[in-house]
Amino acid sequence: MAPLSPEQRLKLRAWHKVCLQVDGIATGTTVETLAAAGVFQHLAGDAEPLEASALAARSGILPGYFHLAMKLLANQGLVLRGGDIPAGETLVSLSPDGREWLAFLEAYQRGRASVAAALQLRAWLAGQRSEAPPDLAALSRGPAVDDSLLGRRVRQHLLGPLLGAAMTQLAASGVLQTLGGSPGGWVSLSWLKGPPEALTAALGLLAGQGWARLQDGGAALTPEGEAAAALVVGYYEAVSYLPSFLAVPEIMHGAEANLGLAANGEETHLDRALDIKMSGLVFQKECREPFLEAALPLFDQKPLSQQPSCVVDCGSGDGTVLLELYRAIKEQTLRGRHLQSHPLIMVGAEYTEVSRRTTAAVLAEAEVPHRVIFGDIGDPGRLAADLGELGLEAAEALHISKSVIHNRAYQPPRDHERLRSWRPTSLAVFTSPGGGLIPAREMECNLVEFFEAWRPWMARHGMLAIEAHTVDPELVAPRVGGNLITVLDASHGYAHQYLIEAEIYRRAARAAGLDILFSRDIGQQLVGRPLLSVNHFKPA
C-alpha cells in the first residue's frame, strides 16, 4: 500500500476527531446515566458475564433502553455481548479496554451539562440567545484526563457536543465557508455572521482542536480545520438529536421527558430541519447514482402509457430525491421528451409538517409538477386513499422512499404461525415506545408484514427504497474513530426506529413474496457491511 500523502493524513486526523466527538454526543449522557445507576459497579465486580435484562431491573432502567446502551458500548469496544442475543437473552461484561476505561468514568458526570451547553451555544450563535451558556468556559477546557490513548478519546467524547454545535452552526451561518474561502488568510470577525462573543467562543473551540487560529480580532482555518469543515455533515445526525440525548436520563428511567410533538405540531425530540438537510446531502453524495441507475430505465419503457403515472415519495424529507429524479427523467429519458403529452406528477408524502413545507417549497421553486400530502410509511392503505382523492392511482405509481422504512410504527406480528417458525438472526436492539425490548423474532416478522402490506401498491412498478442499516458491534468496535454507527444506533434506538442489518432486511422482503430487481450496497468499506442499501422491490 502506498504511503499516505500529507493531505490524506490531515483528512484522516480530522475524520478521526469528528468520529470520536460524535461518539461522545451519542454516548455521553447514556454513560452518565448508567454510572449513576451503579451499572458499572456491578459489571466491574463480577468476573462472569451478567444477564442484561436482570441487570437492567436491578439498576431501575427500562430493559429496551438498557440493551440499547449495552450495544452502544459494545460498538465502542467497552462492553462484550454474548448469549442468545436475537432472543433477548443477552449476556454482558466489560472488555479489557472497558475495565481500563472505568478510570475515566468520573469525567462523564459532565455529559448532560455538555449537551445542555451545546444546545445553548447553537442558540447563541444563531442570535436566539443573548448570553453565553453559563458552563461554557469550564466545559470548553475539556475534562482533566491524562494523555493516554483512552484519555484522549474521553476528552474528545466530552468535548463532542460543543464541537458539534459549533461546527454545525458555523456552517449554517456561512462562517466556515467564508473562512475556507480564504485559505491561510485571516478574516476579520466583523465580517462573519453571528454575535462577536459567540463567534469568538465557537472559534476558540476549533482552535483547541488545532482547526482554527484567532488573533487580533481575526480568524483563519488551519489546513486540518479546512479538512474538518469539509466533514461537517458528519455532525448533523448527532446534533439534530441533541434534545433526545439531553433527555436520556428520563428516557432510560421511564420518566416524563417532554419529547414528542409541541402544541404547534413541531417535533421536540430533534431538529427536523437539520435532520432532513442531512438526509438530502447523504442522498446526493452516496445514493444518487445507484438510485437513478435503478429508476431511469422505468421511464424509457415503451409504450409511454405503461410507465408510472406519478412518483410517490413516502418520507420525502427536503424534496431532494423527488427533485433529482424529476430532473434526470426530464433530461435523460424518453418520458422526459414527452412530458407535455404524458405529464409526470411528483408526490411528496410526509408525516411531519416541517418536511411537507420544505418539500413543497423546494419543488415549487424548481417548477416541478407536484403534490404534497400527509403520508405514513406504515399505512399504505391510507396513503392510497389520499392519493385517490387527488385523482392519482397508487397502484399506477412508482413508490420510492429514503430511510423511512425503519421509522414505521411497530405493530406485533399478526401471523402467529410464521412467528412460531421464524428463526431470527438480527443482533440489533429494538425498543418499544414504553422502553420494552422487542425480540428480534417479532421485529423481523413485523418487517415481513410491512412488505406484505405494501404489495398491492407495488404490483405494477414496485418500490425503490433507500434504507439505512445497523451492523454487528464486533465489526464496529475495531474501527472506533473511523465510523458514525454508534450515533445512528443511539439516535434511532432512543427514538424507537428500527434499523436492521441489510441481509435480514432483504430476507424479510423475499419472505413477503417480493423479488429484488436491483440491489446496491453502500458503505461496506467502513466496517465490512452495508450501512445503506438501494433496492427495487416488486412482487414476484
Cα–Cα distance between 66 and 494 in angstroms, integer? 11
List of residues 6+ apart from 437 with CB closer than 8 A: 53, 63, 64, 67, 88, 429, 430, 431
Which long-range contacts link 506-513 to residues 24+ away (Cβ below 8 Å)? 506/533, 506/535, 507/444, 508/444, 508/447, 508/448, 508/450, 508/451, 509/451, 509/535, 509/537, 511/448, 511/451, 512/448, 512/449, 512/450, 512/451, 512/452, 512/455, 513/452, 513/455, 513/539, 513/540
Q: At 126, is the secondary structure helix, strand, or coil? A: coil
C-alpha cell at 326: 424529476
Determine if the peptide bond prior to 303 is cis (ω within 30°): yes
Query: Would residue 527 be called left, alpha or beta, if left means φ above 0 and alpha means ψ between -120 and 50 degrees?
Result: alpha
CB-CB contact of 429 with 67 (8 Å): yes
Total residue length of the chain = 540
Concatenate the DSSP letters of all residues of 183-252 into one string: TTS-EEGGGSSS-HHHHHHHHHHHHHTTSEEEETTEEEE-HHHHHHHTTGGGGHHHHHTHHHHHTHHHHH
**Per the domain annotation, does 181 fall within a domain?**
yes
Concatenate the DSSP letters of all residues of 405-433 into one string: GGGSPP---S-HHHHHH---------B-T
Structure confidence at residue 1 (pLDDT)? 65
CB-CB contact of 428 with 529 (8 Å): no
CB-CB contact of 303 with 343 (8 Å): no
C-alpha cell at 298: 422505468
Intervals of the chain under pLDDT 70: 1, 183-184, 257-266
Q: How far is CA 295 from CA 216, 276, 532, 535, in A?
A: 54, 22, 17, 10
| pLDDT tens digits for range 441-491 | 999 999 999 999 999 999 999 999 999 999 999 999 999 999 999 999 999
Structure confidence at residue 185 (pLDDT)? 74
**Per the domain annotation, does 495 fall within a domain?**
no
Cα–Cα distance between 227 and 204 in angstroms, integer? 17
Cα–Cα distance between 451 and 378 in angstroms, integer? 10
**Per the domain annotation, does 221 fall within a domain?**
yes
Label the pairing between strands 218-221 and 212-215. antiparallel
Q: Which of 73, 39, 75 is nearest to 56 (CA)?
A: 39
**Per the domain annotation, does 235 fall within a domain?**
yes
Label the pairing between strands 463-468 and 397-402. parallel
**Per the domain annotation, does 468 fall within a domain?**
no
Q: Which of 409, 420, 488 is nearest to 453 (CA)?
A: 409
**Per the domain annotation, does 483 fall within a domain?**
no
Strand partners for 187: 219
What torsion, rounded to 10 degrees, do the Cα atoms 349, 353, 354, 356 define?
Answer: 30
DSSP 283: I
Cα–Cα distance between 374 and 380 in angstroms, integer? 11
C-alpha cell at 184: 491561510
Count up the domains in the chain and report the number. Answer: 1
Q: At 373, is the secondary structure helix, strand, or coil? A: strand
> Residue 132 sits in which domain range?
6-253
Structure confidence at residue 259 (pLDDT)? 67
Q: Which residue has the cell 469543515?
A: 229
**Per the domain annotation, does 391 fall within a domain?**
no
Structure confidence at residue 366 (pLDDT)? 97
**Per the domain annotation, does 242 fall within a domain?**
yes
Cα–Cα distance between 242 and 220 in angstroms, integer? 28
Structure confidence at residue 257 (pLDDT)? 63
